[in-house]
Amino acid sequence: MKLSRKVCACAGALLATGAYGQTYEIQLVDFGLRPAQAWCVNGSGTSAGGFISTVHNAYRGFVGAGQELAPAPGDTQSMVFALDDAGRAAAVSFTIGDPGERALLVDGAGSTVLGDFCPRGFGPDGRVVGSRVSTFGPGWLGRRACVYTEAGLTDLPSLGGEFSQAMAAGPGDWVVGFSFTATGLTPRATLWSGGVVRDLGTLGGPGAEALGVGAGGRIVGTSETVGGAQRPFLFLVDAGGNVTQRVDLGTLGTGGGNYGAAYGVNSAGHVVGTSADRAFMFRDGVMHDLETLVVNPGHWHLAVASSINDAGHIAGWGVYKGWPAAFVLTPVAACDPDLNGDGNVDQDDVAYLVNVVGGGSNPTGIDPDFNGDGNVDQDDVAALINVVAGGGCP
């Protein structure tokens, strides 16, 4: 599909929902320029992840910009992969070189060890999903997808192989991740629901991994294609667990390369991820380079968008002033460029604003300060022309 067609389709969809040209403000999750990654963001826009502590010379999990999470006694490292809307964090505690690991549930009451596994996500009912180290054959190590509830830790069935991981939990009892088959050498995107394990298929290549799940049967991840590329995907799945559509989300053009992965999706169907070291959002049929939607990019390069909530906050990581750093993107109020109120966004709106700026009549009662700088002048006309051409709101 040509880019021009994608832009037109996106503009029409956004006008229909009244959210034309959504842009974002970027916020550094500040750890004094120490390397950090934000793996998740909850409904209130609080992020969590991990950073390298120069005090401890080790990874430490964090919630927001102020709460550092200590590992379990005997361990040296920690990392947060999930944060629910109540502010509870699911963290992994480990020691480099030791295959063992412990899942921590951290809340206002303190830190509780849930068991020997690596947690990756919360379900809406409070369950925690992840994977644990297992052994098979003559002492070989594998992994088993598992679910923790108040009843304890339960393994999930695999597709026949000795390696599986649960990466996220969704509506009802849905859990998504990946599993190997008994004979396969590549992972397969997997859905666990109703006590049944399902192979979700691929984009035509041998392997795929499901990495996130959202409302409406949306599952995202990464898959090999027939041509050998690794592409981010969106699979649509019905209530019975059957895949109804497999969408290759593409790449960010020639600079996007052949590798990409989708990590998160919200209830509006907006997907975030990475395309060859560039963070993206896929919405209304178009993959956007997130850097082009940020109004204050400064010294940032956005590499990975790992999570998006229903309010549109996006967490991830990239490079800030040469240092690996975590970020949170906050939506900026969208603008309405249909200034003449005829239901179309086109040159007639530009002509309308030119007339108003020049002292002409204003029957629709618009605020002619379109760019919000406190002045009414040709800069407002230039900002509107940019939006009409498909650019972001000022």
Look up the CATH number of the domain holding residue 388: 1.10.1330
Task: Decide which of 281, 309, 332 is a domain's last residue.
Answer: 332
| The predicted structure's pLDDT at residue 254 | 66
372, 342: one domain: yes
| The predicted structure's pLDDT at residue 62 | 93
| The predicted structure's pLDDT at residue 333 | 65
Tell me the two tokens of residue 116. 């020997």
Q: How far apart are CA 175 and CA 146, in angstroms?
A: 10
Q: Show the low-confidence residues of the chain (pLDDT under 70).
A: 1-23, 25-33, 66, 254-257, 333-334, 392
| The predicted structure's pLDDT at residue 393 | 73
142, 90: one domain: yes
Q: How far apart are CA 31 and CA 25, in angstroms?
A: 19
**Contact 50/33 with Cβ under 8 angstroms?**
no
| The predicted structure's pLDDT at residue 4 | 22
2, 96: one domain: no
Contacts of 279 (CB under 8 A, 6+ apart): 272, 273, 289, 290, 291, 302, 303, 304, 305, 316, 318
157, 226: one domain: yes
| The predicted structure's pLDDT at residue 170 | 93
Among candidates 164, 192, 168, 195, which has minimal Cα distance to 180? 164
CA 290, 291, 295, 300 dihedral sign is: positive
15, 31: one domain: no
Q: How far apart are CA 277 and CA 358, in angstroms?
A: 45
Where are the alpha helices (H) located in the chain, listed in sequence order? 3-17, 347-357, 378-388
Question: pLDDT tens digits, residue range 194-247?
Answer: 999 999 999 999 999 999 999 999 999 999 999 899 999 999 999 999 999 999
281, 391: one domain: no
236, 137: one domain: yes
Q: What is the DSSP letter of 203?
A: B
Phi and psi at residue 11, in whole multiples of 5°? -60, -40
177, 243: one domain: yes
254, 372: one domain: no
CATH classification at residue 233: 2.130.10.150
Does the pTM exceed 0.75?
A: yes
| The predicted structure's pLDDT at residue 11 | 22
9, 28: one domain: no
**Contact 80/63 with Cβ under 8 angstroms?**
yes
Question: pLDDT tens digits, residue range 86-137?
Answer: 999 999 999 999 888 999 999 988 999 999 999 999 999 999 999 999 988 7
List 154's β-bridge partners, or say none. Answer: 147
309, 363: one domain: no
Q: How many domains does the chain have?
A: 2
Among candidates 192, 198, 188, which has minimal Cα distance to 221? 188
Checking 352-360 for CB contacts under 8 A at 24+ apart, the result is 353/380, 353/381, 353/384, 354/381, 357/381
| The predicted structure's pLDDT at residue 174 | 97
166, 245: one domain: yes
Residue tagged 């000795």 (tokens): 162
Domain span at residue 12 reads 1-21+336-394
Task: Decide which of 332, 347, 363 is a domain's last residue.
Answer: 332
Task: Decide which of 307, 332, 357 is a domain's last residue.
Answer: 332
